[in-house]
Amino acid sequence: MEIIEHETKKEMVKQLGIIDCDVHQSVNSYEDLKPYLPRSWWNRLGGEGYGVGSGGVFPGPNYPSPVGILREDSYPENGAPGSDIEFTKKQLLDEYGIEYAILTGAALHLSVLANADFASSMASAYNQWTAEKWLNADSRFKGSIIIAPQDPKEAAKEIDRWSSHPNFIQVQMGGAAKMPYGDRYFDPIFEACERNSLPLAIHPGAEGDGVSHPLTPLGHVQHYIERHCVLPQTIMTHLITMVFQGVFNKFPGLKVVVLEYGIAWMPHMMWRMDKNYKGLRMEVPWLEKRPSDYIREHVRLATQPIEEPDKIGQLDQIIEMMGTDKMVMFSSDYPHWDFDSPKASLNLIKDKNLKNRILRDNAKEFYGL
Amino acid sequence: MEIIEHETKKEMVKQLGIIDCDVHQSVNSYEDLKPYLPRSWWNRLGGEGYGVGSGGVFPGPNYPSPVGILREDSYPENGAPGSDIEFTKKQLLDEYGIEYAILTGAALHLSVLANADFASSMASAYNQWTAEKWLNADSRFKGSIIIAPQDPKEAAKEIDRWSSHPNFIQVQMGGAAKMPYGDRYFDPIFEACERNSLPLAIHPGAEGDGVSHPLTPLGHVQHYIERHCVLPQTIMTHLITMVFQGVFNKFPGLKVVVLEYGIAWMPHMMWRMDKNYKGLRMEVPWLEKRPSDYIREHVRLATQPIEEPDKIGQLDQIIEMMGTDKMVMFSSDYPHWDFDSPKASLNLIKDKNLKNRILRDNAKEFYGL
């Protein structure tokens, strides 16, 4: 495979001032959240009364990864990967010259908890912990306000609560949910994001686990590798329903950031939406332009796990098919097992200007950093 | 939009000897099947004892199309679209110079009937009717052996029953099913296809209806246009599970034809499977080559409803990304509302040789016609 020399030199990468849109800071133990969590929920954090093999805070995975979900070398001297601020700065920010790291947490199973009140309280505690521990520690860290989509009105309150904090720059919820995000059930969340001018990020992690639906339109699959391959179906469903059920007509200021679903499914989805709109627009009279125009205006995609074609230039073609060079933004997914390095993961993109847009400019403009 | 002159001339198209891989012949009324259906099922065909608005042979649609599902001009003087052999020959075969039309029937909801015995009997009756009425009428018609995947052993018997018929050239089942087709539950079907050297076609139509699962990993959507946009999730799930659960290792002679799911989702899926295979291959040790190699060897895609990018040449790029020019075969979906004309629907493909492969050569070689 051809290697583009330019991108293999760390110095060059550093000059760019990369923005990494998906960095998972983590608690070392859920005990860390106790100070921020009402005492009535403390028993949910495990401990006495729960036997071995049960009593995790979040539902366990139906599809455990055979390689775990963490990078082998991401363990700090003490504690869990992503839990040590100095180690994270050294291993990620300093190593790659990252100007801003957008923190996305490690509470990805919040959205598949059966108990909406516990989920809302956990989200709130997580945000408090992130604000105190991480957002005060280094100005390169920017935070995501975690919300529980199980209770849209509580989620809206949580968004309002943090919206004036200078270092929370977006809202974030899991992809696994009770129903597609196009449904009016979620309107209070979209309204709060728009009111506070905060983009809404959607991140996978709990699909097929907990009280989520089975993983596909055919029910469950068998292996983690299959689960990982069907994940984009979740975000395609959210975006298709958000456009056609009129979310962007009701909330024209809403912006959506798609994290960790890859990027190459996008042209197909836009084309299929546009073609069907030609024949079936009478069903969705509130739309004022083509579906793909809504996507281009309102949606951004983070790269990881970026697809790896056999030929250099094919990812350039995929992005060209999206009809804009502003949609795609770099993400590493540190410290997870399928981490995409800023140095190597964009080697398959040929156009240097496009690469710079992805590594830096698009996120800088989008988030106003 | 640039129009390629060459393809707008009917004469040129006729010279090609087009093969249309998806033509829906239809009964005029389910009464037509009575001679082939055990008397114990006759009451299922409707009539006395069923009130108005209930008692259809197949479950009705949860997502009715606002434009119906039939081409406005496809009604013959008497009877239902697709039911009149002479009219079909005139409006489709003669009009476009189609050398072979592969018949795919109008019993697409068979796979979501709760009663597996009734489904198997209906499949059997449908095949008998097709053989007698259509396959004897014109040598340009080639048939698909319809099966009910609810009972794989009965389905295998039905395949064996017709396999020596010279004009049944493949087996066909619905995309909506109890579980992903990678599951070993379906092995008897794959075994029978392989034993009889018959390709297996998968066709959508009943997703989200009857006893099928909800339409997406988030449950149901609201509109027909949304349903139409999420349909490729079904076939992606089938192919991902078939490759990773080892169907093509157990049945190396099995070939799969994907009908009516479009084509542009394929590169993304192949790339994601290959990338995950690099990191997670220990989960699927039976694989002997890259997932995309299995797809290229075993799978063919029919074009309709072909995606329509804004730029000519982008579909050429999509097909180039598949890594073979042999995978894609033309289909019109006659007489359904979103019929793709052999004249116009490939206008967005730039390469004339590729267009000829799609319109004729790929299907000719694949089916040995």
Q: What is the pLDDT of residue B148?
A: 98
Do residues B155 and B172 lie in contact, with contact meaning Cβ atoms separated by under 8 Å? Answer: no
Domains with residue ranges and CATH for chain A = 2-367 (3.20.20.140)
Residues of A in contact with B337 (CB under 8 A): 279
Would the pLDDT of A64 be above 80? yes
Contact A268 B265 (CB under 8 A): yes
Would the pLDDT of A341 be above 80? yes
Residues near A166 by Cβ (< 8 Å), separated by ≥ 6? none
Which H or E element spans position A232? helix A232-244
State pLDDT tens for residues B84-135.
999 999 999 999 999 999 999 999 999 999 999 999 999 999 999 999 999 9
Q: Which of B185, B216, B284, B308 to mutate to test the interface with A (most CBs of A within 10 A)?
A: B216
Query: Which tokens is B258 given?
Result: 């994907």
Confidence of residue A11 (pLDDT cuts 50, 70, 90): low
Residue of A nearest to B65 (CA): A280
**B338 in reach of chain A (CB within 8 A):** yes
Would the pLDDT of B5 be above 50? no
Residues near A175 by Cβ (< 8 Å), separated by ≥ 6? A111, A202, A203, A204, A205, A206, A207, A231, A234, A235, A238, A261
Residue that is written with structure tokens 């770099």 in the block: A330
Across the interface, of A214, A230, A317, the residue whose CB is closest to B236 is: A230
Do residues A274 and B262 lie in contact, with contact meaning Cβ atoms separated by under 8 Å? Answer: no
What's the mean pLDDT in B51-72? 83
Residues in A 283-322 with any Cβ partner in B closer than 8 A = 283-284, 305, 307-310, 314, 317-318, 320-321
Q: What percent of chain B has pLDDT over 90?
A: 88
Residues of A in contact with B226 (CB under 8 A): 182, 240-241, 244-245
Contact A244 B229 (CB under 8 A): yes
Q: What is the pLDDT of residue A343?
A: 85
Contact A218 B236 (CB under 8 A): no
Residues of B in contact with A280 (CB under 8 A): 65-67, 223-225, 228
Q: What is the pLDDT of residue A43?
A: 85
**B233 in reach of chain A (CB within 8 A):** yes
Residues of B in contact with A282 (CB under 8 A): 66-67
Q: What is the pLDDT of residue A4?
A: 42
Q: Among A61-70, A237-246, B305-314, B357-366, where is mean pLDDT lowest?
A: A61-70
Q: What is the pLDDT of residue B1?
A: 36
Chains A, B: CB contacts within 8 A come to: 235
Would the pLDDT of B50 be above 80? no
Contact A276 B228 (CB under 8 A): yes
Residues of A in contact with B317 (CB under 8 A): 314, 317, 321
Contact A221 B208 (CB under 8 A): no
Question: How large is the ipTM?
Answer: 0.94
In this predicted model, which residue has the larger pLDDT, B170 or B53? B170
Torsion of CA A308, A314, A316, A319, to 10 degrees: -80
Q: Which of A1, A224, A258, A272 to mutate to test the interface with B (most CBs of B within 10 A)?
A: A272
- Alpha-helical (H) ranges within chain B are 10-16, 85-88, 95-96, 116-130, 152-162, 187-195, 224-230, 232-244, 247-250, 266-280, 291-298, 314-321, 352-356, 362-367
Q: What is the pLDDT of residue B2?
A: 40
Across the interface, of A213, A233, A307, the residue whose CB is closest to B236 is: A233
Contact A267 B314 (CB under 8 A): yes
State pLDDT tens for residues A174-219.
999 999 999 999 999 999 999 999 999 999 999 999 999 999 999 9
Query: Which tokens is B284 given?
Result: 């699927």
State pLDDT tens for residues A17-39.
999 999 999 999 888 999 999 99
Residues in B 160-179 with any Cβ partner in A closer than 8 A = 176-179
Do residues B335 and A347 lie in contact, with contact meaning Cβ atoms separated by under 8 Å? Answer: no
Q: Which residues pair with A301 in a beta bridge?
A: A258, A328
Question: Å from A197 to nearest chain B CA?
Answer: 27
Q: Which three-class secondary structure state does DSSP give residue A119?
A: helix
What's the mean pLDDT in A278-297? 98
Would the pLDDT of A1 be above 70? no
What's the mean pLDDT in A78-92? 95
What's the mean pLDDT in A289-296? 98
Confidence of residue A76 (pLDDT cuts 50, 70, 90): very high
Among the listed residues B162, B249, B236, the one whose alpha carbon sits nearest the alpha carbon of residue B198: B162
**A247 in reach of chain B (CB within 8 A):** no
Would the pLDDT of A143 be above 80? yes
Contact B216 A208 (CB under 8 A): no
Q: What is the pLDDT of residue B3?
A: 40
**B324 in reach of chain A (CB within 8 A):** no
**B234 in reach of chain A (CB within 8 A):** yes
